[in-house]
Structure 1
């Protein structure tokens, strides 16, 4: 999820759970009509949710460049993130899907299941050299339908002066995190800030703790899941984390850290530009702490995949696939990563990028073992994601114990 991501920077599309049903009724005869005359394709359409002025301009520049390489012009349109899926649904029903469609990676499963996306292998587009988790984010039932030029995930940002003053090391384990959060808490400042609100962003932030402790989204009512949730509830109970996290999104968490009201925060690389501009804050960033020394960190993948809808024109799909392949070339990945503080999806490109941009090294390391949120549950993920953030709210607020909240979440996720 890019601010998820993800989004992650952006929340999941609110209508994601309804995509499969609506698109199935729309059928597969979607897309722009074939070009007339000799069938030569001279222009394509592209839809995404990059409405930020700079971000839209960057993507427009790259789409234009890749279109020129493929011999076409690209009409680039962006809609607000919450409008992307509804817009695509209407286009699917009307048979006017764009030639290139960007999707938040958890939404791809819904669209691929409906049959309105083209398998990329049909046009020779491959994901050679991509990280396994990143590649799986664009895959449905073993078939790749989308590729993400870059990805993002979460890490731990910390105030160097606050930790130094408290005499605690940068935390690498949960116990060290507890100690550092307690030691850096003082009047007007909490030790740690996370997003625990009633949204998919909170689920995104909780997943590294769940997964790194051996928890499983298919079985939420386990001791491993309860232990992960107790970490958060304990920090609030002990006063090292504000109870206000129940209403904070990732942007709010960032503002707490930026304003000196939190010594550490869980957040994504999209926060780096604002942090670099902060003159009075000396900060660092490391991978999230793991339960015990030697444990493997598992984080969720944020970011967007580009797809080729199954339009009515084979020629248009072929040209769209050429543009999509260009978006995923190393040079494109590096340009996007530098513009937006994301992680290139090819492992070798990401390694070079980490050397060039040290602030991104923690995110590059974390994406190496990162996991697509839909890997286990596919199109059924949104219901479980909602059950998880509901459990977080119930436990952190003290309304239920972690065990009770997760038992209820398991029933909600499975419909039992």
Structure 2
């Protein structure tokens, strides 16, 4: 695999500009310490965005298992996702990239454009029969990683709260009926809906189903449809059916609010299923409704396993073994069950649903989800997303009207 040896290392200027434009992912929180490449040749480094999994967890045990099978020791470091992207860009410039890098799917485009990643033509990672979001093919039709799993968003609802408010969840079919349900819940003395509107990619990720559900497009943030989606959220906060805390809520803290049992609804993802069981909630899941009915397209979340460019090309063979171990059909079930993800292959999805019927609506939701870099946005997406979350922050805080916030966001993108 000596074809990598002639690649030029990305310049610091390119990496810094890309790092500024790159946001954070759908899931994962916390922080981790940085790692370094094993000097003895028998230690392989893996960077991932799963700081919620400590040593001894099913995820780290799986990494160790894959290392043992490859005859090496795995040194794993977990980062908050935004920190992971920046660390990966700078490590590439310094010639100190990890052997395996697990990153949120839109970040693949950014890293590939910066010359950080090897292509699947070169690294031989399996991509056949695995649905690839457009960001998996960011440059010249080439792929740069293989999906480890997918997730998306839906509405969790608390059956007890809705019953006490005399709300039939079957009546929730569009924005008007959802808002009516939230008002009934509030009138009954309970709390309505919680979500994440924080000024990071998490905020954009959570806003997108409403944005797309209104018929808006990322190429025109200031459309009447985009404004209506922001007005919906603004109206909820203003009327008190959504808390002011959404401005600072990550998806984790938003979930913690729902886990108190006081909220009727929470917008969140597959990865919270274990938390729902732990909280002992009597809950259900329904698709996020579109403005006029039907199900809104929710964004595709989930990570790709990638192999960064290395100065020592002899490391690729073992790195490929580790990546294949994590993403093979045999191990994907364990991997995605551990991460609370929907598998990227139909075969494993069917196995997941057979073992846990609660995953059926999530499998359906992932199949209907939309890639954040769809419409050939590629590396333009992080820049658009940043202006979108800034618009959400401005409108919900009251510093701008939804119309002005979206108009300013579109101007900034141009």
TM-score above 0.5, yes or no: yes
Q: Which residue of 2 aligns with 1:205?
A: 206
Match in the other structure for 2:136: 138
Q: Describe the shift of the 1:220–1:179 C-alpha distance in structure 2 as closer, same or farther (beyond 3 A).
A: same
Query: How many Å separate the matches in 2 of 1:56 and 1:217?
Result: 41
1:269 maps to: 270
CA contact (8 A) 2:105 2:302 kept: yes
Q: Deviations over 1:163-203 (max 9, x none)?
A: 22333332232222112111111475321112123232111
Deviation at 1:204, TM superposition (A): 0.9
Q: Is the 8 A contact 2:287 2:295 kept in 1?
A: no
Give the corresponding residue for 2:27: 8
**In structure 1, what is the equivalent of residue 4 of structure 2?**
none
Give the Cα separation in 2 of the matches to 1:223 and 1:94.
Answer: 46
**Higher alpha-carbon deviation: 373-382 or 191-200:** 373-382
Do 2:151 and 2:342's aligned partners in 1 also have CA atoms closer than 8 Å? yes
Cα distance in structure 2, aligned partners of 1:109 and 1:329: 23
Distance 1:161 1:132 in 2: 39
Instruction: Tell me the distance in 2 between the aligned counterparts of 1:87 and 1:393.
Output: 26
Separation in 1, partners of 2:343, 2:173: 25
- What CA distance in whole angstroms lies between the structure 1 residues aligned with 2:53 and 2:238? 42
Q: Return the TM-score normalized by structure 1.
A: 0.83
Cα distance in 2 between the residues matched to 1:272 and 1:353: 13
How far apart are residue 101 of structure 1 and its match?
A: 1.6
- The alpha carbon displacement at 1:404 in A equals 1.6
Supply the distance in 2 between the matched residues of 1:243 and 1:51 (Cα, whole angstroms).
Answer: 27
The structure-2 alpha-carbon separation of the partners of 1:123 and 1:202, relative to structure 1 and needing over 3 Å to count, comes to closer
Q: Which residue of the partner structure matches residue 80 of structure 1? A: 79
Counterpart residue number, 1:151: 150
Q: SS of 2:184's equivalent?
A: helix
Q: CA RMSD in A?
A: 2.9
Aligned 8 A contact 2:125 2:146 in 1: no
1:369 counterpart = 2:371:
no
The alignment partner of 1:143 has SS state of coil
Distance 1:98 1:380, change over 3 A: same
SS of 1:150's partner is coil
Match of 2:13 in 1: none
Report the Cα offset of residue 34 of structure 1.
11
1:112 Cα deviation from its structure 2 partner: 0.5
- 1:63 and 2:63 are equivalent in the alignment: yes
Give TM-score scaled by structure 2 length: 0.83
Quick one: distance in 2 between partners of 1:404 and 1:197? 19
Partner in structure 2 of residue 252 of structure 1: 253
Matched, 1:315 2:314: yes
Q: RCO greater where, 1 or 2, for CA within 8 Å and sep 6 or more?
A: 1
